[in-house]
Structures are given as structure tokens and as C-alpha cells.
Amino acid sequence: MAQLRDKILIVEDDTGILKFLKTTLTANNYDVVLTENGKDALAMIYSHCPDCILLDLGLPDMDGNTIIESVRSWAKTPIIVISARSTETDKATALDLGADDYLTKPFGTLELLARIRAALRHTRTTAENDEIALKGIYQVGDLRIDYNKHRAFLGEQDAGLTPNEFRIVALLGKHAGQVLTYKTILHELWGPSASSDNKILRVHMANIRRKIEPNPDEPCYIFTEVGVGYRMASND
């Protein structure tokens, strides 16, 4: 039986990058559809139903953020932004509008493919990581998040997280591989009226890292996207 391939829509007006992406993705067994402008992109999302969208922000006819907003009003198709815009505000804006991930140009092929795999996995697993849904556990390396016991373990050792620290780790685990912005984390954990002060999150994270990371200065489980948010390591 022929394997069903995932279809990736590339929206990019730089023909050099477009060609590179097309070649790379085709060589890695993805079906590729592409366009250089926003208007066609929106039409193609309807007509082609891609499994994932790679989206440049600086398009000739519209801003990519407009596309994110539009798509999110009716579809959950994963969107990975690929952009030369590299400020923390640019990243946070796109992620808060509903982009799943953000890659700053230039980026490496392996990084791109890893992000695409992570994005595709998220759509296959309803709202939560399938491993968590099945076993109530997310495991990466020695770190085990037990959602039934509300505890995190390092090997057999209870990491001793406080309830709030556990909630942060649990949330990141459910979205492993994906950047969650400070705003998203604060809202998810403490509701829409939560303070937008990231300081409390940084304090919690410093404590969490002290408890779970072999070397808190070079984390291997929870990574910082500077000025944007945090990402839990994927277990693939």
C-alpha cells in the first residue's frame, strides 16, 4: 500500500528559499504545494487542505500575520513561520495569533524537518500529546511527568516540584516541541486576568531547572526562547 504523504504548503516570495524548501521537502517524502503571495495562499489552504503550512511573513500583497489570523478563525492546520524578522515581539505576535512555531532565517534543514515533524504530530494527537492521553505520562530522557500523580520524576526520584512548578512543567510537556509564549503560559495557568509580568514565570523556571536539569545553566529538558517563552524537549 502506498504510504500517505503529508502535504506541505509553502508560502514564500523569495524564489531562492522557495526552491530550497521545495527540494528539501520533496527529498524527504513530503508532497509540496507552493505560492509566492498571500491571496493565493488563503485560496490554496481551502482547496488543498495542507497538513502543515510554512509561512513567510513579508509577502508582496499582505502581511503573513493576517494569514495566521484568518486561518485560525476556521482551521487548526499547523503553521510554522519562517521569517527574517527576528525580534522577540515579532515571534511573540505570530505565536500569540496562533502560529505553532517560528523559525528565523537562515535556518538549517535538520531544524526545519524536526519542527515540521513536531507540528504534524500535534495535529494527530487531538489537544494533547497521545502518549499522555494513553498512559498519563510524558517521558523525555530521565524526566517523567506523571499526570495522574501530579508529580515529576527524574529516574525513580521525585523531583519535588511545588504545585505551581508542576503545572508549568505539565503544560509544557503537553506541548512538547512547541514554543509556548509567556502570555500563553500565564493565561493557561492563571486565567485571562493573569498578570502579564513574566518575572514570576522566570522565578518558577529557575527553581524548576534547579530541580530537574542536570545542569541548570545548559538545560536539556526545558529550553528558553529568549524574550518569547519556553519549549519542552520532544521525545523523538
Minimum distance, C-beta of residue 36 to Ca ion, in the bound complex (Å): 9
Q: Is 214 in the site for Ca ion (CB under 5 A)?
A: no
Closer of 55 and 118 to Ca ion (Cβ):
55
Closer of 18 and 176 to Ca ion (Cβ):
18
Residue where the block lists cell 519535588? 160
Q: Is 13 in the site for Ca ion (CB under 5 A)?
A: yes
Q: Out of 23, 58, 149, 227, point to the residue binding Ca ion (CB under 5 A).
A: 58
d(CA 208, CA 202): 10
Q: Out of 51, 56, 100, 101, point to the residue binding Ca ion (CB under 5 A).
A: 56
Among 55-63, 121-129, 168-176, 180-188, the segment contacting Ca ion (CB under 5 A): 55-63
Closer of 56 and 225 to Ca ion (Cβ):
56
Q: Is 105 in the site for Ca ion (CB under 5 A)?
A: no
Minimum distance, C-beta of residue 6 to Ca ion, in the bound complex (Å): 24
Among 50-58, 72-80, 205-213, 228-236, the segment contacting Ca ion (CB under 5 A): 50-58
The β-bridge partners of 102 are 81
Closer of 85 and 175 to Ca ion (Cβ):
85
Site string for Ca ion, 61-90 (x = CB under 5 A): ------------------------------
Residue where the block lists cell 485571562? 192
Joined together, the cell numbers standing for residue 49 give 487542505
Comparing every residue's Cβ against Ca ion, the nearest one is 58
* Residues at the contact surface with Ca ion, assessed by CB under 5 A: 13, 56, 58
